[in-house]
Structure 1
Amino acid sequence: MSEVSMDQTRGLNGTYEKIQRVDPFLWIIPLVLNCFGLVMIVSLTSPHSMEVWGSPFVVGFRQVQWSFLGLTAMFLIYLFPIAFWERLSAYLWMVAFLLSFCTLIPGIGIEAGGARRWIDIGSLQFQPIELLIFAVVIHLSKCLSRSKEAPLKMFLGITLAVIFISIIPLLLQPDIGGMLLLSIICMGIHVENRGWGYPLVIGSAGLALLFPFIIRESYRLRRYVAFLDPWKEPLDSGFQVIQGLVAFANGGLLGVGIGKGLQKMNYLPAAHTDYIFAAIGEEFGFIGTGLVVILFTMWAWRCFKVYKQAPSPFLRTLLWGLVISVLLPFFINVGGVTKLLPLTGMPLPFMSYGGSSLLMMWIRVGLIVRITKEIVGTPS
């Protein structure tokens, strides 16, 4: 990853010229987001850390450890050729699938909020769905790019089959948000490979049929009601939504200043995890949240330029799947925090506190940079 960037440019005929070197901003932009997230996590958790452990940096230091682990993983992933991951995709999917069942084993799985979505590995806690989504992206990309089946048979026999098998452990945990995220990512990969038709029609119909079951649980119904009218129960189901909007209002254009936000004083639950975007809005204002959106947009655009140059269907589909598996959680998190979507508890990529998500995001970056390296090395 030492190559200096020479961005591809658009020629006079409207086509893209071949990229000459690996773009360092593919990992520099995530690093900036990661560091910004670390600053916010320390700012938001310092009162609690000081009260419990006597130091304001305990929670932040844990995230620093995960950040170094993620950067190390990114470099290691970069060292392996894409053909290696293509060959092992089915095995990786199988391991991730079985690991997802470990959350249901007493003594290994951790129960929180009536669900089992975490496993305890020594002193580390890991969420297997992060690995499962990563493995599904690689395996489904390989299967779709190799298939010569008719579009409908491909959709039913490959895309839906991978979705239905993969969500079995998520149904048992249960993790409805994870199921929807995995399903939408798979649909998005199919869209890149074979178009919008079947995913749009069948996906929309399936969501409409499943919606009554999704909101059957009281806590999911309360989230949906809070999305429609949070002021109906401002001290109960609508509390977090309202406090998130208050954080944005407090921040205004320039913010109240780092460390000076009031929402971290137990006014805004999950301020350093799911609601870190709202906390950024309070302490850094519209300028801060706008910067985050711009950085994600710049990263997506640079990935798109690489995507346009991918020499094989597998590389193109894999890159597409990896990028949407980063951007979709971003859109869901920002949409939920700004009340454009119902809350789902989705972390903000590279920025929210949590090791599993951060580690797997960096692994995605490593694979994306590796794809770019192989495209650069491909003869024109």
Structure 2
Amino acid sequence: MGKKNPYDFTIIITVAILVTTGIIMVFSSSFSHAMVVLGDGYYFLKRVLMWTGVGLSAMIFCAKIEYWKWAKYAPTLLLGSIILLVLVLTPVGKEINGAQRWIYVGISIMPSEIAKFAAIIFVATTLNNKRERIQTFAYGVAPYLLLAGMFFGLIYQQPDFSTAFVVVVIIVAMVFVGGMKLSHFIGLTAAGVAGLASMIAYIFISGKGYKAKRITAFLDPWADPTDSGFQAVQSLLALGSGGLFGRGLGRSVQKHFYLPEPQNDFIFAIIGEELGYIGAVAIILLFMVLIWRGIRIAINAPDLLSCLMATGIVTMIIVQVIINIAVATSSMPVTGMPLPFISFGGNALAILMASMGILLNISKHTNMNRS
């Protein structure tokens, strides 16, 4: 496969900073909640440290495996992820806060996170093997639409619309980079936007269920600040009270039972409150650096397989970052989406770091300026 280069140091250092920031902010944002509810203020810190160790091991392991060897296991990964997505909807699945997204086998397994990884490997492998047929809709594009629809349907039933949406975007982005006709892409994008708009309109007009309340709260969170708009209002208060330099690390007010689960989906609001505008912008810049390096690796990748894998990994990060920050800033309706490498979530962290390992392995075979 040609001369090997060093691992991309920029990715290594950026991921290290993001993960370290995540450990600090998870501890800072969760201590009060963990102390009162669980009787152990260090509960989330101990768990995030454990999962960081798992993630680091996964990243090193994946960095040492040549990226093309994953193609051999693509069908197994896909089948395994589908089986887990089905099982989580049965009594085997564990329900928390009205969502059935986990399977407990000594540790909690989140099948939807595994599905992202499996989708990236499978789509990259099959597109690489059928590159000459991707120009046709029936044989090149339609099978991936069916795959995306299957993933969406299974994950949406948990219910987890945001993760289902991310998987679909990953698959479509990879198929586009793999050689889909521009006319097909434009048509699918238009159909997807129309379908999403219709679904949102139906939910809003019907006015039924928590989804309708979230859309109403997005339009005017202050209309019902103690119920449907509570999370959005508290997140905005946290961001606004942080000012330019923040209240100081550990001095957040909103984490004290005002903002629900501050160590998870709304951790960006706590970052804005404690570290201020400068801290929040610094986090965004770190993600921009990571995405930039990922895109450069995809562009300069040695072959189509590695290009598609890098595309899927970078797309996964881009979409999750945009959704999380958009929710925290009330730029879109509230939906559960962790901030990559920073929010508390063991499965998500392990999968992300494993994906970074694959990206690092690809970088060894990529010729580009590493300055």
Q: What TM-score, normalized to structure 2?
A: 0.90
**Larger CA deviation: 333-342 vs 110-119:** 110-119
Deviations 1:205-256 (A, max 9, x none): 3323443566665111111111111011011111110111111111000000
Amino acid in the other structure paired with 1:138: I
**Larger CA deviation: 145-154 vs 68-77:** 145-154
Question: Which residue of 2 is the match for residue 56 of structure 1?
Answer: 41
For these two proteins, the number of residue pairs brought into alignment is 358
Q: Does 1:93 align with 2:78?
A: yes
Change (3 A) 1:255 1:155: farther
Contact kept, 8 Å, 1:81 with 1:370, in 2: the verdict is: yes
Amino acid in the other structure paired with 1:249: G
Amino acid in the other structure paired with 2:99: A
Change (3 A) 1:204 1:70: same
Tell me which of 95, 106, 109 is aligned to 1:111: 95
Q: How far 1:55 sits from its partner (Å)?
A: 4.5
**Larger CA deviation: 41-50 vs 237-246:** 41-50
Q: Does 1:211 align with 2:161?
A: no
Change (3 A) 1:224 1:154: farther
Q: How far 1:279 sits from its partner (Å)?
A: 0.2
Deviations 1:2-57 (A, max 9, x none): xxxxxxxxxxxxxxxx9953212212211211111111111112223333555532
Question: CA separation in 2, counterparts of 1:27 and 1:203?
Answer: 35
Tell me which of 361, 364, 371 is aligned to 1:370: 361
Amino acid in the other structure paired with 2:105: I
Tell me which of 86, 103, 111 is aligned to 1:128: 111
Q: How far 1:145 sits from its partner (Å)?
A: 3.1
Question: Which residue of 2 is the match for residue 76 of structure 1?
Answer: 61
Deviations 1:43-90 (A, max 9, x none): 112223333555532211111110011000111112222222112111
SS in 1 for 2:342: coil
Question: Which residue of 2 is the match for residue 197 of structure 1?
Answer: 186
Amino acid in the other structure paired with 2:364: K
Superposed, 1:1-380 pairs within 5 Å as 20-52=5-37, 55-106=40-91, 108-122=92-106, 124-147=107-130, 148-149=132-133, 150-154=135-139, 156-193=141-178, 194=180, 195=182, 196-212=185-201, 218-375=209-366
Q: How far 1:113 sits from its partner (Å)?
A: 3.4
Deviations 1:95-130 (A, max 9, x none): 011011121232x311133331111111x1121000
Question: CA separation in 1, counterparts of 2:33 and 2:161?
Answer: 31
Amino acid in the other structure paired with 2:210: Y
Contact kept, 8 Å, 1:277 with 1:337, in 2: the verdict is: yes
Question: CA separation in 2, counterparts of 1:120 and 1:309?
Answer: 41
Higher relative contact order (CA 8 A, sep 6+): 2
Change (3 A) 1:298 1:172: closer
Question: CA separation in 1, counterparts of 2:218 and 2:25?
Answer: 26
**Larger CA deviation: 256-265 vs 202-211:** 202-211
Contact kept, 8 Å, 2:214 with 2:333, in 1: the verdict is: yes
Structure 1 stretches of 4+ with a deviation exceeding 4 A read: 52-55, 212-217
Deviations 1:322-375 (A, max 9, x none): 111112111100011111111111000000011111111111101101111233
Question: CA separation in 2, counterparts of 1:198 and 1:204?
Answer: 10
Deviations 1:173-205 (A, max 9, x none): 333222222112212222222244233223223
RMSD: 2.1
Contact kept, 8 Å, 2:302 with 2:365, in 1: the verdict is: no
Contact kept, 8 Å, 2:8 with 2:364, in 1: the verdict is: no
Contact kept, 8 Å, 1:278 with 1:337, in 2: the verdict is: yes
Amino acid in the other structure paired with 2:152: I
Question: CA separation in 1, counterparts of 2:203 and 2:309?
Answer: 30
